[in-house]
Chains A and B, each alone.
Chain A
Amino acid sequence: MGSGKIAAAAPKNRNRQRAGFIAACTIPALVLYAVFVLYPTITVFYTAFFSQTSLGGSSRTFVGFDNFIGVFQNSQFLESLGNQFFLIVVVTIITMVAAMFFAALLTQSNLKEKPFYRTVFFFPNVLAIVVIGTLFVQIYDPTNGLLNAIVSVFTGSESHIAWLGEDRFTILWCVAFAMVWQAIGYYMVMYMSGMDSISPELYEVADLEGMGKFKQFFKITLPLMWEVVRVTLVFFIISTINMSYTFATVMTPENMDVPLTFVYKQAYAGNNYGFGMAATTIMFIISFALALLSNKLTARDD
């Protein structure tokens, strides 16, 4: 097929070689991606249009958009979605501000203990999320928990607050705190590497010009690491959605749902698999849209 042309045109031949090389490098990954990500994802979208069990047996019937309509009419889903937005916003803002603050502190100051702090902050990332969840369940324990012990010291009477069994927002703040604690070190390290790539001369000049540290951060540090911030924003949205499933499963199995725990309960224990897949599809679209939105909002004109 067209071998005569290749022999005639040397640059085309090189092009073809290059194409072969690119193909050899990308195809294995692409195939894996297609088999393990694209195919299952499309199956989920497809299943969402059926009423069926998790086995997809004889009871399977096509129901069109009924599942999607049902999801939006389900008050428990809407509440779990509210919880999810709360966690995304709160965890992102607190983690981002705190991680940036510590990153700036560690890069700007010439602390001797810098590597030590870096390790300490990063440490929670080494632990499995299930372990962190269990750890915080112990901290929030109504009878022997650390938090109640601290409260007792301040109030002077024995405290037995059921942190993970109180009203919705107490529970959400408790879970959010655990998630921030888990995430902070990871983003701090990312921001630190962004800050380290900024030339120190800029700060020297700024110092000479009499610019305050605070102003330096907003005029030099933040603009020059904006791309890192953009990337982490997308990370925040995706990872908060994913990790809140594990945190909610471990910390609040019955007292607070996020959309993904709702999906699990509906699809398996509730024997309502198609409906669960519709909720999953909706969550996919929402997280995709959020990631896109954050990318658009933070884009700069230059």
Chain B
Amino acid sequence: MSKVKRVLTALLAASVAATMAVGATGCEKVDDASSAAGTGTASTDSTESGSGESTGDISGELKLAVFQGGYGLDIWNQIADEFEAEHPDVTVTVTGDTDIGNVLRPQIINGDAPDFIYLASTNPSGLLQSLETDHLVMDLTDIFEEDGLKDKIIDGVLDGPTYQPYGDGKIYAAPLFFSVNGMWYDSNLFEKNSWEVPETWDDAFALADQAKEQGIAMYTYAAANAPAYNESVIWPMIATIGGKDKLDAIFNYEEGAWNDPAVTETLNIFQQMHDGGYLLEGTMGMTHTQSQQQWLQDKALFIPNGAWIQNEMADSPRADGFQFGVMAAPKTDASQQQAIWFQTEEMYIPTDAENPEAAKEFIKFLYTDDIVKEMAEATNALPPLKNCLELVDGLVDDATYASAELGLSDDMVQVSGGFANTSATDITIRSDFFQGVGSILNGDMTVADLQAQMEQESQELAQLVTAQQGLEEGASSEEAAE
């Protein structure tokens, strides 16, 4: 019996070792095959299209990995073709997936990273954050220094910790799109009732009281699955009331930042919504689509969102004559200068990229006027450029254009950014905060409770900040450069 056992163990051990060996060689073989195939196609391609004017000395395969949004991959393939036409020695391959972050992770771990990634930092896969923490993204500062590209990008966009993760003034990600997020309303409903778009929250609540008589609530949002949509209201409000510095203080975990009167005043508006029953009934259980559907049927006056809402809800039933209108979060005092929230989507190059030169060239290519226009027409998304309005005129839908017009107007303060990076921590300050705002709207928490909780989390995080200079210094050096 013991012999049987011994034979069995030996066989087992041998077979495990064998499978592992097979697995290892198998992997190598696959790698070899794919790179061979890559160079193969590259060489055939270069002989095929010799007509294009060669603008650099880049060549080889350029692997793009892109987040596949609602508009599909056609536009990426189209741009890839145009890039190939301009750089005949380059072959571009496009990989797209709605879950590209989780597709790429094992590839990057195995050292098989793509040359170019487009996936927003807000994606739940957290890919960009991981790449930045592990120093696996390439420094792109030279792209922005060249040809004054940095000055063409909308002010402030490149300042946030996502773009400058180490606070050393160097840029590690490039913005592909931006959206202006505000409070959306049905402008037809407003015209019909000859309501004015409210300038202050007092006006807004007075308007809401009138609307209530028609059975229309004041406010709804994606409480059940995306409560952070409220950032389009809360972050700019803090800047409107207390100035941009107050928001920077919060994002950099400065002591007492959450106890600032500007924060109190902002959150009190949400307390007032709860106390006066201004929230659409059932909102706490609504997803983004459910709340947007209610709003589209004139069940609520306002919803915090970005311009993608028109595209996203294109096939949904709506109130007669519905028209998308957008405004910045109201002021608490008419003398304040209004701020508005910008959200951006990033693209970047992993340090393991095999063809970083081509990838950098591709990023520059994406900022050229023609490509920006093509992209805008296909995706309805806005390029983060100062001359955005003239570029996209007539190419994007009305809601998107209206939001850009509002966001880029001179009397608006543009704010964007996010919490400063820290070393690994289980404190999820952003989601805790927006959960907390939900609790205020639900009556489970007071404004003071939330402020105390945030201040405590913030002070713990302050100990863990990795980029010592942080956001503020990056912002001031940016201003000095102009």
Contacts and interface: CB of A to CB of B under 8 A. Distances in A.
Interface in A10-37: 12, 15-16, 18-19, 22-23, 27, 30-31, 34-35
A291 B282 CA distance: 39
A142 B129 contact: no
B33 interface: no
Contacts of B133: 53, 57, 59, 271
B428 A270 contact: yes
B105 A162 contact: no
Measured as residues with beta carbon below 8 angstroms from the partner, the interface class of chain A is 35 or more
Contacts of A255: 223-224, 284-285
A20 to B, nearest CB: 8
Interface string A231-262: 00000000000000000000011110000000
Interface stretch (A163-171, A282-290, A294-302): A163-171
B422 to A, nearest CB: 9
Contacts of B314: none
A112 B344 CA distance: 64
A177 to B, nearest CB: 15
Interface string B274-285: 000000011111
B482 interface: no
Contacts of B20: 35
A55 B131 contact: yes
Given A23-B8, A143-B294, A164 B285 contact: yes
B428 A265 contact: yes
A289 to B, nearest CB: 23
A163 to B, nearest CB: 6
Contacts of A152: none
A52 interface: yes
Contacts of B105: 54-55
Nearest to B227: A254
Given A19-B7, A271-B133, A35 B282 contact: no
Given A23-B11, A253-B225, A274 B424 contact: yes
Contacts of A273: 130
B131 A272 contact: no
A22 B424 contact: no
Given A31-B19, A54-B105, A57-B134, A270 B284 contact: no
A283 B102 CA distance: 23
Given A16-B7, A274-B424, A163 B126 contact: no
Interface in A126-142: 137, 140-142
B436 to A, nearest CB: 12
Nearest to B435: A254
Contacts of B124: 265, 268-269
A190 interface: no
Contact of B4 (A15, A53, A161, A167): A15
A153 B169 CA distance: 63
A167 B444 CA distance: 9
Contacts of B223: 162, 165, 254-255
Contact of B426 (A15, A70, A165, A253): A70
Interface in B173-224: 223-224
B4 A141 contact: no
Contact of B16 (A16, A34, A142, A160): A34
A271 B11 contact: no
Nearest to A161: B282
A252 B224 contact: yes
B130 A162 contact: no
B12 A272 contact: no
Interface string B423-454: 11110100100010000001010000000000
Interface in A144-187: 160-167
B24 to A, nearest CB: 12
Q: How large is the interface on B (under 10, 10 to 19, 20 to 34, 35 or more residues)?
A: 35 or more
B12 A27 contact: yes
Contacts of B435: 254
B424 A59 contact: yes
Nearest to A73: B426
A108 interface: no
A110 interface: no
B282 A142 contact: yes
Contacts of B68: none
A254 B225 contact: yes
B130 A27 contact: no
Contacts of A59: 133-135, 423-424
Contacts of A53: 129-130, 133-134, 424
A191 interface: no
B336 interface: no
B52 interface: no
A82 interface: no
Contacts of B442: 165
A120 B128 CA distance: 47
B419 to A, nearest CB: 12
Contacts of B129: 53, 271
B34 interface: no
Contact of A55 (B11, B109, B282, B428): B109
23 contacts: A12-B3, A15-B4, A23-B12, A55-B130, A55-B136, A57-B130, A57-B134, A58-B135, A59-B133, A60-B134, A143-B286, A161-B285, A162-B281, A162-B282, A165-B223, A252-B224, A253-B224, A254-B225, A254-B226, A254-B435, A255-B223, A255-B224, A269-B126
Interface of B: 1, 3-4, 7-8, 11-12, 15-16, 19-20, 23, 101, 105, 108-109, 124-126, 129-131, 133-136, 223-227, 281-287, 290, 294, 299, 423-426, 428, 431, 435, 442, 444
Given A19-B7, A140-B285, A162-B284, 8 more contacts: A19-B8, A55-B130, A58-B134, A141-B290, A143-B286, A167-B444, A269-B124, A272-B424
CB-CB nearest 5 A-B residue pairs: A142-B282, A57-B134, A162-B285, A165-B284, A165-B285
